[in-house]
Chains A and B, each alone.
Chain A
Amino acid sequence: MSDEDTIDAGEHSDLTAAEYVLGVLGAEERRHAEFRIASEPRFAAEVAFWEARLGGLAEGVYPVMPPAKIWDGIEARLSSALAPEQPRAGLWQSLAFWRTFAIASAALAAASMAGLVYLANLPSLGPPLLARLNGESGQASFVVAVNKGGDSLTIVPAALLSGEQQKAFELWLIPPGDKPHSLGLIDPTKPVRISVPGTLLPKVNSDAVLAVSVEPPGGSPTGQPTGPVIANGKLASL
C-alpha cells in the first residue's frame, strides 16, 4: 500500500483482503484488490473469510425502509437487463446465450455483428481460448478470442458503451498471482485485433484473467489500471 507498510511488516501480514472488506482502501487500491479476487483463488478465499467474519458488524446498521419507487425502478430496469448469468454452464452455452442476446439486441453496432460472424466461425480454426468479459452488472461487455498461433487476440464488443467518448479503454492480461500487464487500447465499437508482446505469450493461457479498464485518452499513464474496471473474465478453452 505505501510508506506506512513498515509498521506491520513481516510474518503473514498481508492484510489487503481484510482492508478491502473493511473498506479503508482508496479507489485505485480497491481496483487492484478486485483484480486479485478475479485472479487469485487464495486471495478471494481470504476476502470471503473476512466478509463472513466482519459481516456481523452490519448489525450496527439501522434498517431503513426505502421508498416504494425504488422497487419500481428495479423492475423497470430488469426488463432491459439480461437474464441472470449461469456461471456453472459451459462456455459454449454461455456463448450461445450471449450470441442470442447480441443478435436480439437492435442496439448493437453493425461492426459488432461482423465480429459475431467472425466468432461464430472460430471453432473451425482449431480449439481456441475464449473469454467472456462481464461488466459490473454481470452483463457480457466483450468477448475475446485468442487467435490461432496464440500471438494475437481479437476482442469484440458485445454491447454498446456510451457516455465514455472522452476516455480510452485498455485491455489487461492478469496472470495468476501477477500484476496486470497492458495489452493496449481497444475500440468499444468494433472488433480489434491485438498482438501479444513476446514476453507475455507464455502467460496467455487458461489460468489468465482479462480485464478492460477506463483510462485517460492515450491509455494508463502509470502502466497499471488507474480507472474503473468495466469488464473482466477468465480465459478458457472450448
Chain B
Amino acid sequence: MDAEARRRQLVAAINRVAGGDRAALRLVYAETSAKLFGTCLRILGDRSEAEDVLQDVYLAVWRKAASFDERVASPITWLVAIARNRSIDRLRSQATSRVNVPIEAAAEVPDASLSAVERLEISEDQARLRDCLQELEERQSAAIRAAFLEGFTYEQLAEKASVPLGTMKSWIRRGLMKLRTCLER
C-alpha cells in the first residue's frame, strides 16, 4: 500500500473511532504509537512518564476523534499535536527543570519494524518547511527546532544557549515571523 492509501486508511480509522469503534482505535494505535511514543519520550526524557502520557494521548484520541477534520490537519499532524500538548503540559507541571538532564530519548534506538505510515508524509508541506527554515539564520532555526522537539520554554532555551532571555525571545519571534511570511508565499 502506498503512503496516500495508508493515510486514507488512517483518516477512515479515526472517523470510525469517533463512532465508538475500538478495533479502529487499535488500528490507529498500531500505526502511530511508535511515532507518538517517540514524541512523548523526546519531550519528557523519561520513559515511565512518557508511557503514562501515551495512554492519556490515546484516550484523548478516543474522546476527541469526532473533532478531527482532515481538511484542517493530516492525521499524523493531529495526533502529534495531541501528543506534544499532553507531554508539554506534563513537563510544565513538574516542579524541576530538566534543562541539564541528559535526554534519555536520544539513546533510544529507532525500531526497525515500524509501519509505513510513521515514515510517510515527507509531504509538500514538509518540504516547504525545510526550505523556509533554511532561509532563517542558523541560530534561529536551531532554536525553533529545539523548542518544538524538546518542549523547552524560552527561559530554558536561553539558559542552554547561554544568551539573555530577551535575545532568545527575539531570535525565535523574528524566526517565526519570517517563517510565516515564507510559508504563506
A residues contacting B by CB (< 8 A) are 3-4, 7-8, 13, 15, 18-19, 21-27, 30, 48, 51-67, 70-71, 73-75, 77-78, 81-88, 136-139, 228
Contact = CB atoms under 8 A, between A and B. Distances in A.
Contacts, number: 193
Contacts of B89: 27, 30, 228
Contacts of A138: 60, 63-64
Contacts of B126: 56, 59
Contact of A52 (B118, B125, B165): B125
B93 A27 contact: yes
Interface residues of B, number: 82
B92 A27 contact: yes
B7 interface: no
B122 interface: yes
Interface string B28-66: 010001110111011100000001001110111011111
A53 B144 CA distance: 13
Interface of B: 17-20, 22, 25-26, 29, 33-35, 37-39, 41-43, 51, 54-56, 58-60, 62-67, 72-74, 76-78, 80-81, 84, 88-89, 92-93, 105, 108-111, 113-114, 118, 121-123, 125-126, 128-130, 144-145, 147-149, 151-155, 157, 165-166, 169-170, 172-174, 176-177, 179-180, 183
Contacts of A23: 43, 84, 88, 147-148, 151-152
Nearest to A73: B55
B76 A55 contact: yes
Contacts of B51: 66-67, 70
A228 B88 CA distance: 13
Contacts of B109: 64
